[in-house]
Amino acid sequence: MNRRSFLFCLGAMSACAMFNRPALAAGNSILVTYFSATGTTKAVAEAMARTFGADLYAITPEKAYTNADLDWHDKTSRSSIEMADGKSRPKLAGPLPDMGKYGTVFIGYPIWWGIAPRIVQTFVEQCDFKGKKVIPFCTSGSSPFAGSADLLSAAASGAEWLPGKRLDSRAGSEELAAWAKELGVK
């Protein structure tokens, strides 16, 4: 560090101390995160981001799921094996979002065997949700939201988990805005 940057850092630090503020204040923006294997949850998440004026983050597996991987009739398919193993944590691709900017985080996923896919568990375990409002949502063939996020909320202590919801792929901005109002978000 040269003399100039040292003096700059010193100045910034004393300014923070002077106003008694933390150097990194938690942000109030909204982030919509989602995992989607075949596009349904992605479409809902995009509609939510548009309606809420939120940022969007795709939870992306290091290795994309093929159609064969998603075959739930096949006990030996990748998704069947992952979902049968509570300890399975498929790897993520790409950097995690900068959580410091957000006060509210939505987490969307398709229901797989009644719960969130293991890749969403990987994501939740790698992020810091402390002090944030977290709202899960899902899409599904027919299963209700029910306890699909229980393993996720257990993995993110220190966050305020609000009730989740199953959303239809055709969820419109009016329905989404009404839900956000109900949650006290926005």
Please, what is the minimum distance in Å from the beta carbon of residue 110 to ligand FMN?
3
Q: Which stretch binds ligand FMN (CB under 6 A): 8-16, 56-64, 95-103, 111-119?
A: 111-119
Closer of 52 and 112 to ligand FMN (Cβ)? 112
The residue from 139, 149, 164, 171 that contacts ligand FMN (CB under 6 A) is 139
The sign one gets for the Cα dihedral 105, 110, 115, 117 is: negative
The residue from 40, 104, 121, 122 that contacts ligand FMN (CB under 6 A) is 40
Is residue 66 near ligand FMN by the rule CB under 6 A? no
What DSSP string describes 84-140?
H-TT--PPBPSPPP-GGGEEEEEEEEE-BTTB--HHHHHHHHHS--TT-EEEEEEE-
Q: Is 64 helix (H, G, I), strand (E, B) or coil?
A: coil
Residue type, 31: L
The residue from 33, 36, 51, 122 that contacts ligand FMN (CB under 6 A) is 36
Structure tokens at 28: 């109030």
Is residue 153 near ligand FMN by the rule CB under 6 A? no
Is residue 112 near ligand FMN by the rule CB under 6 A? yes
CA distance 173 to 48: 7
Query: What CA dihedral angle connects 56, 59, 64 and 65, to 10 degrees?
Result: -100
The residue from 38, 66, 126, 173 that contacts ligand FMN (CB under 6 A) is 38
Q: Of 136, 121, 164, 139, which is closest to residue 38 (Cα–Cα)?
A: 139
Is residue 147 near ligand FMN by the rule CB under 6 A? no
Is residue 143 near ligand FMN by the rule CB under 6 A? yes
Binding mask 68-87 for ligand FMN (x = CB under 6 A): --x-x------x--------
Q: Please, which residues have CB within 8 angstroms of residue 184's CB and are 6 or more apart in sequence?
A: none
The residue from 56, 113, 145, 155 that contacts ligand FMN (CB under 6 A) is 113
Q: Which residues bind ligand FMN (CB under 6 A)?
A: 36-42, 70, 72, 79, 110-114, 139-143
